């Protein structure tokens, strides 16, 4: 399937490039071409793969608000060359947090795709056209036609869902309008948020019935939609609908359609959580039946020495970077292309080739402090952890030999942390297993003060002193000749589904054994005790897991830790209405600029306010471009824009 998609999508520019500036692409452009596209089974299947095209493009983290506007990773604002992230406006998604979002030319503009090359209305139109014509060819076996229809319906549902998460109330493009559609037919108004969600869920239900539970022929069909994927997405959709952003949000209760209809529900309905809970249970059951399980580390390549400690870190990281493993419920075909943005320089060879590693994906201090202590509780709650002196300095010791360079002086806050911290984040003094050195008894390490990782110039710089290690497999080698170990981007992992189930259980029933069980299964892989045991033994708030509000906080932090840097946190923080709180304070990092720190420890370890993010109520919902409002007077602008 990976090969088929890449080949077949290249031949579809007539469908994907035309009419990109229509407010809503719902009518076909070339009837003669459409007749050819459905002349036989092969042509029809090729058109279906065209419907998949923009779904594959969503794997690009530059285009994902869940990645670029989450506060997990920032992109430097003072670079003298902003093209280091390639085309499509490069770092535009990251600049939203700087207050540069606007309605005249919105950033991450999925409404009409202007300046993004990705128009989801056009994708929906392709799906509708496919569904209108899939019965035309006579050489398609009934079982195959049923599957194709189900795939197109899933894709149409997901494209609508992506738009709902960004814009709230949207028009529903359920049918492909005829080529001679009137202006009035094309100018579709927005529907209420609940109507939009219900439409997506109903469409998913019809798709699930026609989808296979698993992919039988992985070599040919990897990446295609299954019923297991669709059930997991349905659970996420319903949990999003039940969450505070869309369920009785008083901040958006004043948003009305042109005919005066309230577009957001004025009251919260707890029953929505029950629907989400039922959907989560069905998705977990389906995942189990399909053989989903946590990733088990598998050694690839030659290794000089690997301790059990290192193996545990690689098992955590490999859940993301080992493609198509049983933990990945839904993985998209395109490969992650930004390893050189997430890696530090740890070898002379890499430092000599200034184009090998840019390191621009910078993890703020606040994100690094989100991870637990080694006792499995937040660092500001652990009674045994020296939170007040976390910014003091300390030398690496034997107890942290496989995590921090022995004898190297670095931040005290890096010590006695949970395994996911060491697996996901690199910092000054942290060891780095890989990049050509697979001996963890004599590892490479990050020297951000005056070594290889110190910024060579203002273009190839990490501005906070923390790297998203999770995104760089140990097999990748950077240097004069770089060798990439590429991996496809996972959209849904099994732990995400478990934690969503626990969240819904808590929202419906409050704390209980089953909710603890599913949280603890995630924590167990990280080497942590269960929630109740950890809080009882180590937390200054030992009763926290025993209340609904307390367990909610724990689940939210657990999701942010487990799914860090995977493009999920930004969506979660939005639906919870917590992103505004996360972005209240300044983005902080260490003084990584060698021009200011004089390459000294004292100069480096000065906390710097890099910039103040701008995020208010209006930023929870994206603006519709002014041009589109003029083109379709039946639309209303997102509130506060």
Distance CA 98, CA 52 (A): 33
Tokens of 54: 């923009």
The low-confidence residues of the chain, meaning pLDDT below 70, are 1-32, 80-83, 86-89, 458
Distance CA 253, CA 363 (A): 35
In this prediction, residue 185 carries a pLDDT of 85
Residue with tokens 């949970």: 418
Query: Residues 245-278, buried b or exposed e (16+ Cβ, 10 A)?
Result: bbbbbebbeebebeeeeebbbeebeeebbbbbbe
Q: Whose CA is closest to 143, among 151, 154, 153?
A: 151
Q: How many CA atoms lie within 13 A of 568 on its CB side?
A: 23
In this prediction, residue 88 carries a pLDDT of 55
DSSP 202-247: HHHHHHHTTS-SS-S-HHHHTT---HHHHHHHHHHHHHHHHSTTTS
Distance CA 69, CA 516 (A): 30
Q: State the maximum Cα–Cα separation within the chain, in Å, rounded to a whole number.
A: 75
For the beta carbon of residue 560, count every other beta carbon within 10 angstroms: 22
DSSP 86-120: -STTTTHHHHGGGTT--SSS-SS-TTT-TTTS--H
Cβ pair 467, 359 in contact under 8 A: yes
Residue with tokens 């890099």: 610
Tokens of 124: 């929906």
Distance CA 576, CA 404 (A): 35
Distance CA 312, CA 424 (A): 12
Distance CA 619, CA 66 (A): 13
- For residue 488, the SS3 value is strand
Q: Whose CA is closest to 134, among 75, 100, 97, 176?
A: 176
DSSP 554-571: HHHHHHHHHTTTTT-HHH
pTM, entire model = 0.94
Q: How many CA atoms lie within 13 A of 75 on its CB side?
A: 24
Residue with tokens 């995020």: 615
In this prediction, residue 597 carries a pLDDT of 81
In this prediction, residue 14 carries a pLDDT of 29
Residue with tokens 């690496």: 396
> Could you give the angle at the alpha carbon of 285 between the alpha carbons of 280 and 287, nearest 5°?
95
426 phi and psi angles, rounded to 5 deg = -110, 155
Q: Whose CA is closest to 193, among 236, 247, 244?
A: 247
Tokens of 213: 């539970």
Q: Whose CA is closest to 638, among 33, 136, 193?
A: 193
Distance CA 58, CA 488 (A): 12
In this prediction, residue 83 carries a pLDDT of 63
Helix (H) or strand (E) holding 508: helix 494-509
Alpha helices, DSSP H, located in 111-181: 120-133, 142-167
In this prediction, residue 301 carries a pLDDT of 73
Q: How many residues does the chain have?
A: 641
Cβ pair 335, 487 in contact under 8 A: yes
Distance CA 67, CA 57 (A): 14
For the beta carbon of residue 635, count every other beta carbon within 10 angstroms: 23
- Chain mean position to CA 388: 32
Tokens of 204: 């998913």
Q: Whose CA is closest to 556, among 285, 244, 216, 206?
A: 244
Distance CA 154, CA 157 (A): 5
Residue with tokens 């395994």: 419
Tens of pLDDT, residue by residue over 495-536, are 999 999 999 999 999 999 999 999 999 999 999 999 999 999
What burial class does residue 205 get, using C-beta atoms within 10 Å of its C-beta: 0-12 exposed, 13-18 middle, 19+ buried?
middle
Tokens of 165: 């998460």
Distance CA 230, CA 283 (A): 8
In this prediction, residue 1 carries a pLDDT of 37
Distance CA 80, CA 88 (A): 18
Cβ pair 426, 432 in contact under 8 A: yes
- 269 in the Ramachandran plot: left (φ > 0), alpha (ψ -120 to 50) or beta? beta
What burial class does residue 36 get, using C-beta atoms within 10 Å of its C-beta: 0-12 exposed, 13-18 middle, 19+ buried?
exposed
DSSP 11-72: T-HHHHSTTTTSSS--S-S-HHHHHHHTSSHHHHHHHHHHHHHHHHHTT-GGG-HHHHTSSS
Tokens of 635: 């639309």
Residue 178: DSSP 8-state? P
DSSP 622-641: PPPPHHHHHH-TT--PPTT-
Q: Which residues on neighbouring strands pair with residue 439, listed in sequence order?
A: 305
């Amino acid at each position: 399937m990976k090969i088929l998609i890449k080949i077949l999508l290249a031949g579809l520019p007539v469908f994907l490039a035309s009419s990109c500036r229509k407010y809503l692409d719902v009518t076909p452009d070339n009837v003669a071409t459409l007749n050819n596209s459905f002349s036989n089974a092969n042509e029809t299947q090729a058109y279906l793969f065209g419907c998949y095209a923009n779904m594959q493009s969503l794997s690009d983290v530059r285009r994902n608000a869940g990645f670029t506007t989450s506060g997990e990773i920032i992109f430097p604002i003072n670079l003298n060359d902003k093209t280091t992230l390639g085309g499509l406006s490069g770092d535009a998604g990251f600049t939203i947090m700087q207050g540069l979002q606007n309605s005249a030319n919105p950033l991450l503009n999925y409404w009409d795709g202007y300046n993004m090359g990705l128009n989801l209305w056009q994708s929906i139109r392709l799906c509708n056209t496919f569904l209108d014509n899939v019965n035309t060819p006579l050489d398609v076996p009934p079982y195959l036609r049923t599957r194709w229809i189900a795939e197109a319906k899933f894709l149409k549902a997901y494209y609508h869902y992506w738009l709902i998460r960004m814009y709230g109330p949207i028009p529903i493009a359920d049918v492909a309008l005829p080529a001679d559609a009137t202006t009035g037919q094309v100018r579709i108004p927005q529907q209420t948020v609940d109507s939009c969600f219900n439409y997506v869920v109903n469409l998913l239900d019809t798709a699930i019935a026609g989808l296979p539970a698993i992919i039988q022929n992985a070599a040919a069909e990897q990446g295609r939609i299954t019923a297991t994927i669709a059930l997991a997405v349905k659970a996420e959709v319903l949990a999003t609908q039940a969450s505070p952003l869309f369920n009785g949000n008083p901040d958006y209760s004043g948003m009305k359609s042109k005919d005066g209809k309230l577009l957001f529900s004025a009251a919260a309905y707890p029953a929505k959580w029950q629907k989400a809970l039922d959907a989560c249970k069905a998705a977990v059951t389906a995942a189990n039946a399909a053989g989903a399980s946590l990733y088990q580390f598998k050694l690839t390549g030659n290794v000089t020495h690997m301790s059990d400690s290192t193996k545990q870190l690689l098992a955590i990281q490999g859940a993301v970077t080992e493609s198509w493993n049983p933990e990945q419920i839904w993985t998209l075909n395109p490969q992650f292309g930004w390893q050189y943005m997430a890696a530090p320089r740890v070898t002379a060879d890499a430092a000599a080739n200034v184009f090998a590693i840019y390191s621009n994906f910078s993890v703020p201090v606040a994100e690094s402090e989100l991870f637990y202590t080694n006792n499995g509780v937040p660092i500001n709650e652990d009674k045994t952890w020296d939170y007040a002196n976390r910014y003091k300095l300390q030398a690496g010791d034997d107890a942290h030999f496989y995590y921090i360079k022995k004898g190297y002086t670095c931040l005290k806050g890096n010590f006695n942390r949970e395994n996911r911290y060491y697996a996901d984040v690199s910092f000054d003094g942290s060891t780095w297993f890989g990049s050509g050195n697979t001996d963890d008894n004599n590892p490479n390490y990050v020297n951000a003060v005056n070594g290889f990782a110190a910024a060579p110039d203002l273009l190839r710089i990490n501005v906070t002193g923390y790297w998203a290690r999770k995104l760089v497999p140990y097999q990748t080698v950077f240097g004069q000749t770089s060798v990439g170990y590429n991996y496809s981007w996972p959209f849904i992992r099994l732990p995400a589904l478990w934690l969503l189930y626990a969240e819904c259980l808590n929202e419906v029933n409050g704390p209980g054994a089953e909710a603890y069980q599913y949280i603890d299964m995630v924590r167990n892989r990280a080497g942590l005790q269960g929630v109740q045991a950890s809080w009882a033994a180590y937390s200054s708030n030992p009763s926290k897991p025993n209340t609904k509000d307390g367990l909610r906080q724990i689940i939210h932090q657990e999701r942010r830790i487990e799914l860090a840097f995977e493009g999920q946190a930004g969506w979660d923080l939005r639906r919870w209405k917590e992103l505004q709180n996360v972005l209240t304070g300044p983005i902080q990092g260490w003084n990584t600029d060698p021009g200011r720190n004089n390459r000294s420890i004292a100069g480096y370890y000065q906390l710097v306010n890099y910039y103040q993010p701008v995020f208010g109520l209006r930023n929870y919902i994206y603006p519709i471009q002014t041009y589109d409002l003029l083109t379709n007077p039946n639309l209303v602008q997102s509130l506060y824009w």
